[in-house]
Amino acid sequence: MATHETAHDTAHVTGGASGGAPGGASGGASGSASGPPSRPVLRRRARPAAVLLAAVLAALGLGTVPGPAAGDPGPAAAPSAPRTGRADVPGFDPAPAREALRRLLPRHAAQFTLEAAEPGAAGQDAFTVSGTAGAVTVRANTPAAQLTGVGWYLQHVAGVDVGWPGDSLGRLPDVLPAVPEPVTRTARVPHRYALNDTDDGYSGPYRTFEEHRRQIDLMALHGINEVFVQVGAEWPYYRALQGFGYTAEELRAWIPAPGHQSWWLLQNLSGFGGPVGERLLRQRADTGRRVADHLRALGMTPVLPGYFGTVPPGFATRNPDAATVPQGDWAGFARPDWLDPASAAFPRLAAAYYAEQRAAFGDSTMYRMSPLHEGGLTGTVDVRAAAGAVQRALDAAHPGALWAVLGWQDDPTAELLAGVDTSRLLILDGLSDRYNRLDREARWGGAPYAMGTIYNFGGHTTIGANTSVWLERFGPWRDKTGSALAGTAYLPEATGTNPAAFDLFTDLAWEPGTIDHRQWFADFAARRYGRPDPAAAAAWEELRKGPYATSSGLWSESQDSLFTARPSLSAKGAAHWSPQSMRYPAESVLRALEHLLDVDPALRSSSAYRFDLTDTARQALANHSRVLLPRIKAAYEAKDLARFRELVGQWQDAERRLARVVGADPHFLLGPWLAAARAAGADEAERDRHEYDARSILSVWGPRGTSEGGFLHDYANREWAGLVEELYAPRWALYFRTLEDALRTGTAPRAVDWHAHEEEWARRTTAHRTAPAGDPYEEASAVAAALRGAGFTRKR
């Protein structure tokens, strides 16, 4: 590899925007009316699968495995890449970072010079930012770290924000400001992991490559270096299992539709929303390859799903050397069987799986697996031996690779940890900020772990996170004697919401010393809209003290809305598994809304301001639902029909205001979500199946047994224009009519089959607009006025 002197890259970023404009769709409401662009057809592999399998099987000391169906051209050939997917020493190509800058900063990209540098202390990623006005230099040891340096400059020198979602880049001057003194930052932990296993399902299962790329660029800008890649993950199962007695048609019926595939990979369900089409499988595999390639090009690690034993029904019957364990039920779904990793068939299938995955997506150094997730059954399997077999199969295919496992509920168990080399394990702790009295070293025997957060469940549109808990724990946990903390894990179940939480959590790994909670939010308020503003500062101070100061102990997410709940006078929340009461004083959001409305008019044009204003007005209304419903209940129980009608009128007026305010911002629309699903279909029948997949996960989630018995209905509720008017408001209107009829007739309210009502909605194919309508400021002002009229005083 070249030395620093010979590989010194001083090329300026030049040229205009390429590959997409900044401000593209974010994860929360991805997709577009026009659907995904055309993608290259998956190419015939340069090497037959048998050749690829032979090397893996030789490492295992095994014979051959039956190949895929004859005549199948297979997935795209993956280009060779460094084993690490990184470029840690001078000599790497900064072109991918330059191209990302052109997409992110089309007006200013040419003012940055990107240089290669050595890693920082202890081999950690590092960047140095320096330069004069209009000539900013960023030196770093990977293209991604170069982008992280640019992100640091934008926040701390230029004073603007590029959030997920929303930005204030329009406030940048034509000539970028000078860096007063060179600044160096070194990552405090080697692993900065991102994306929950559920992100693809809840954030956008039908996202285009361009949307994935935009999000990867944002993650690099915020210092993340390891990203879970789910899109296309079904392909190696589809290919490999055709060599173990299954037809392509059987497998396409077993694989769920994209919106539900996350839980199939977690071994929780199969088949729902299918059958999936061959064309879709190939498109998704192609997108996954392009996503993995983009991550590698930036020096980031594409974290791919590993193989731990999920098989279709009847596997042991078709493969006599296999032993399978029925996995029982998950929330009303029959779980796929588990192939005992100690049985002879397991290493053969694992080798076939990894060979197909390599052919399609290339290699990585980290693979994501969570055996026995959320109640899986061990049967007679020795978990310690099984874990060792899973790791050996991974090691045979990818020597030295890390196994990333989710820390959730009781997992990983002591038995699993006892069977593996924990030095090659990374536990992604999903509970770091949820509970108290945690000792991760004692709990996991010193295995390396990443401090994680899951502040969003199901894609709920709710503001807040336990941010003060992050600041209180990260430094002490990292610095204590014997610490096993080796990373951060950004794990909301859906991304594209809560930009303040995204910014603060990703800052943990890069800011030296202890971050001051109050000062961080003050600085965020200034850069979020492009310059300091007293009203913006006051708004974010209210939000800091309220929804962003919730405590650990039981929850990591704030409460959801009652407008999105299945109707009941005793409703406490929409999602069964979410907080059932307010986790902070509701008045803090109302005061924040009032302050945001007073922000200088010159700062109101940014997408960041419009998103925040919409989101805060939406949250203020959502919190008001918890005031109104008890009043409606009291009027009903008092048999006061006039008062009942008056309060129901207030509720319905609030729903109309909610629909208007969320309809004014592109991130709160149902239309793009549905349009993306339909665009992925090859014919009308497939388009309808995809739309049902996309609608059902927001409403019934699954069949009746899952929706009702598993309490998953409305799990992914969200206050989106289209959902409010077409599902939530009519559902409440129907319920209120039954109560009014009961009051008028003196009889019990008639029962409603809510699942049937919601299932009918999920089966619709009604069109919804894909562009916002109305003015966010006017709609938010109307919300504030209405809430003041309901008895709330201004800025108290």
Helix (H/G/I), strand (E/B), else coil: 309:
coil
- Please give the order of strands across the beta sheet that includes 310-311: 310-311, 337-339, 324-325
The pLDDT, as a whole number, for residue 125 is 97
Does 26 score more than 50 pLDDT?
A: no
Are 565 and 571 in contact by the 8 Å Cβ rule? The answer is yes
Q: Range with the lowest mean pLDDT among 42-56, 252-266, 283-297, 774-788?
A: 42-56
In sequence order, what E strands does 588-628 have? none
What is the pTM (predicted TM-score) of this model? 0.90
Query: Could you tell me whether strands 402-407 and 366-368 are parallel, antiparallel, or unpaired per DSSP bridges?
Result: parallel
> What percent of the chain is modeled with pLDDT above 70?
88
The pLDDT, as a whole number, for residue 605 is 97
Question: pLDDT tens for residues 76-95?
Answer: 444 333 333 343 345 688 99
Question: pLDDT tens for residues 140-167?
Answer: 999 999 999 999 999 999 999 999 999 9
Q: Range with the lowest mean pLDDT among 85-89, 141-145, 211-215, 258-262?
A: 85-89
The pLDDT, as a whole number, for residue 18 is 30
The pLDDT, as a whole number, for residue 77 is 45
Structure-token pair, residue 35: 């659907």
The pLDDT, as a whole number, for residue 23 is 32
Question: pLDDT tens for residues 469-517?
Answer: 999 999 999 999 999 999 999 999 999 999 999 999 999 999 999 999 9
What mean pLDDT is predicted for residues 278-285? 98
What mean pLDDT is predicted for residues 535-540? 98
What mean pLDDT is predicted for residues 413-436? 98
The pLDDT, as a whole number, for residue 122 is 86
Please choose, from the candidates 671, 420, 461, the residue with its C-alpha nearest in 3D space to the C-alpha of residue 28: 461
Does 12 score more than 70 pLDDT?
A: no
The pLDDT, as a whole number, for residue 121 is 85
Q: Helix, strand, coil: what percent of the chain each, to 5?
A: 45, 10, 45
Does 48 score more than 90 pLDDT?
A: no
Structure-token pair, residue 83: 């084993």
The pLDDT, as a whole number, for residue 79 is 37
The pLDDT, as a whole number, for residue 17 is 30
The pLDDT, as a whole number, for residue 352 is 98
The pLDDT, as a whole number, for residue 1 is 37
Are 668 and 27 in contact by the 8 Å Cβ rule? The answer is no
In sequence order, what E strands does 195-258 have? 226-228
DSSP structure class, residue 102: H
What mean pLDDT is predicted for residues 64-70? 37
Rounded to 5°, the CA angle 175-180-181 comes to 130
Amino acid letter, residue 471: L
Q: What is the dihedral of CA 698, 208, 162, 190, to 10 degrees?
A: 90
pLDDT confidence tier of residue 792, bands split at 50, 70 and 90: low
Tokens 């995955």 belong to: 357
The CA distance from 774 to 165, in Å, is 19
The CA distance from 432 to 556, in Å, is 9
Q: Provide CB contacts within 8 A for 283, sequence distance 6+.
A: 36, 39, 680
Q: Provide CB contacts within 8 A for 760, sequence distance 6+.
A: none
In sequence order, what E strands does 299-348 have? 301-305, 310-311, 324-325, 329-330, 333-334, 337-339
Amino acid letter, residue 219: M
How big is the chain by its Cα radius of gyration, in Å? 26
Does 573 score more than 80 pLDDT?
A: yes
User: Which one has a higher pLDDT value, 352 or 123?
Assistant: 352
> What percent of the chain is modeled with pLDDT above 90?
86
Structure-token pair, residue 759: 């299932």
Q: Average per-residue pLDDT in the chain?
A: 90
The pLDDT, as a whole number, for residue 791 is 67
